[in-house]
Amino acid sequence: MARAAFLGLFSFFLFTPSLASAAIFNPEVFTLKNGLRVVVIPNPRIPAITHMVWYKVGAMDETPGKSGLAHFLEHLLFKGTKVMAPGEFSKIVARLGGTDNAFTAQDFTAYHQTVASEHLERVMKMEADRMQNLVLTDPIVLPERDVVLEERRSRFENNPAAELSLKVAEALYGNHPYGKPVIGWADELENLTTADALAFYRRYYAPNNAILVVAGDVTAAKLRPLAEKIYGAIPRREIGSHGTDQEDGIQEARRVVMRSTEVRQPSFLRRYLAPNQGSAAAGEAQALEVLAEILGGGGTSRLYRQLVVEQKLAAAAGAYYDPVARGPASFSVYSAPVPGVSIATIEAAVDAEIEKLLHQGVKEEDVARAIRRLRASAVYARDSLDTGAQMLGAALAVGLPVAAVEQWPERIATVTAAQVIKAAKNVLRIQRSATGLLLPAEVPAMENGPHP
């Protein structure tokens, strides 16, 4: 499942203050004896629940040469257990009137169902079953490998914009695992085996490497005995180390130029290495979130106002920052020219706005407006059935505490203009960036564009 929309939502709300109080979801948290962490987010507005199991393992945990394995295993978890036939899991959820899906990222893998609250125990039993009883054989695994290869072709190899994003990530992160795609490199993916999938499953799919999050018409008093009965009986396992000690990314600017006969509108993308929430200095991640809002967070942002509205050079322009990661995060800016405007002109215009911000700074009123916009957009976060489950699950899966979500409103409220410009000068450095240009086949690329 593609996660772009979710990650944008998560990053957005994680760094958004509540209008009413510092706490956003007021979760109840406890840990079972086998190490499974449980988060309950009561939300009784409708008689339904979102049930999620997050595994603290993703693409960055794959061994070299096995790229795509975490995502491949995500597919295989729908292929049946000792008591459930392949595909039966989703059919049962559908018969219950619910929905289910899963997604894999660099840092975690998550499985989720949304059903009427009366069916909570049923989906808990099914999810606990596939945590420990997955059955994989070549006749099941090898055809699904072909499905994933076809997914890769349709989502990336036949999508120039998506392929550019992969190439820019590879250029930005170098030998770090974030430089390889979650879906894997095709030549490695096509050689994954049943034994590979089973070994990955047996190592990482354990209760002490998982987080159970249930949001909706439920309380901890109701959920705890169910969790102890259903998940508590699953034995914990030794997980070992996660991730890799490989380098954290590039030390010099890199450029990627792609041309395609399928491209009609050129586009520009630049990603700068940035600290994640856990590694950032005090207040730095909050300042970067405010910076992204000021620079490219919507129709009133500097990039949009200058490039799209005033200069009429671009059809789109923006910026975003995603700090929820175990490894190095990134701060991105993007734009796409209107017909008749060259990609060189767009890159120069983006660089000019960044240069202006770095040299002239931002005003306190700019920061205050950005925070107010974030406040106004976040007021509905509590009303969503699954937003809290997604936010808290992802935060815990990358090693952040519950307080990273619940106390964030009061922290972002203290961001100052001085902090924003300090963070900008630390992160918006061309020597720690990768720039991607996507061009029609017949348009010559600007190999060495202007930089701030």
Give every residue of the chain whose pLDDT is below 70, as ranges: 1-23, 243-249, 375-381, 443-452
Residue type, 37: R
Question: Is 29 among the domain residues?
Answer: no
**136 contacts: CB under 8 Å, gap ≥ 6:** 76, 79, 194, 197, 198, 201
Catalytic residues: 74
Neighbouring-strand partners of residue 321: 331
Does residue 61 sit in the same domain as residue 188? yes
Query: What Cα–Cα distance (Å) separates residue 38 from each residue in 53, 207, 398?
Result: 9, 10, 15
pTM: 0.91
pLDDT of residue 248: 63
Closest residue by Cα to residue 166 from 183, 151, 149 = 183
What tokens does 163 get? 């392929």
Does residue 223 sit in the same domain as residue 345? no
Sign of the CA dihedral running 372, 376, 380, 386: negative
Question: Is 28 among the domain residues?
Answer: no
Contact 343, 443 (CB under 8 A): yes
Rounded Cα gap, residues 66 and 3, in angstroms:
21
Question: Is 71 among the domain residues?
Answer: yes
Does residue 159 sit in the same domain as residue 195? yes
Does residue 297 sit in the same domain as residue 434? yes
Positions of E strands within 134-285: 210-216, 254-260, 267-274
pLDDT of residue 12: 41
Split into its structural domains, the chain has a count of 2
Count of beta carbons in the 10 Å neighbourhood of residue 302: 19
pLDDT of residue 9: 43
Does residue 258 sit in the same domain as residue 223? no
Closest residue by Cα to residue 416 from 356, 355, 363 = 363
pLDDT of residue 372: 83
Helix (H, G, I), strand (E, B) or coil at 362: coil
Whose structure tokens read 């800016």? 333
pLDDT of residue 242: 73
Q: Residue 227: is it exposed, middle or buried by C-beta count within 10 angstroms (0-12/13-18/19+)? A: buried
Does residue 222 sit in the same domain as residue 190? yes
Does residue 320 sit in the same domain as residue 383? yes
Does residue 386 sit in the same domain as residue 341? yes
- Give the DSSP H/E element, type plus range, for residue 209: none
Q: What percent of the chain has pLDDT over 70?
A: 89
Question: Is 210 among the domain residues?
Answer: yes
Closest residue by Cα to residue 103 from 65, 153, 52, 173 = 52
Output the domain CATH number for residue 397: 3.30.830.10
Rounded Cα gap, residues 266 and 334, in angstroms:
11
3-state secondary structure 85-130: CCCHHHHHHHHCCCEEEEEECCCCEEEEEEEEHHHHHHHHHHHHHH
Query: What Cα–Cα distance (Å) separates residue 130 from each residue in 68, 113, 205, 401?
Result: 20, 14, 9, 27
**Number of C-alpha atoms within 13 angstroms, CB side, residue 206?**
16
Convert the pLDDT of each residue in 382-422 to its tens digit.
Answer: 778 888 899 999 999 999 999 998 887 788 889 999 999 99
Question: Is 446 among the domain residues?
Answer: no
The domain boundary residue, chosen from 196, 230, 264: 230
Sign of the CA dihedral running 213, 216, 219, 223: negative
Does residue 263 sit in the same domain as residue 174? no
Rounded Cα gap, residues 263 and 268, in angstroms:
13
417-427 helix and 284-296 helix, angle to the nearest 10 degrees: 90
Closest residue by Cα to residue 200 from 398, 53, 60 = 60
Phi-psi region of 168 (alpha: psi -120 to 50; beta: other; left: phi over 0): alpha
Does residue 300 sit in the same domain as residue 342? yes
pLDDT of residue 452: 44
Question: Is 72 among the domain residues?
Answer: yes
Helix (H, G, I), strand (E, B) or coil at 228: helix
Domain that holds residue 282: 254-401+408-440
Rounded Cα gap, residues 219 and 208, in angstroms:
22
The domain boundary residue, chosen from 230, 264, 281: 230
Mark 343-380 as b/e (b = at least 16 C-beta within 10 Å). Answer: bbbbbebbbebbeebeeeebeeebbeebbebbbeebee
- Give the DSSP H/E element, type plus range, for residue 131: helix 120-132
The domain boundary residue, chosen from 198, 230, 262: 230
Question: Is 347 among the domain residues?
Answer: yes
Does residue 263 sit in the same domain as residue 367? yes
pLDDT of residue 326: 95
Does residue 222 sit in the same domain as residue 76? yes
Question: Is 267 among the domain residues?
Answer: yes
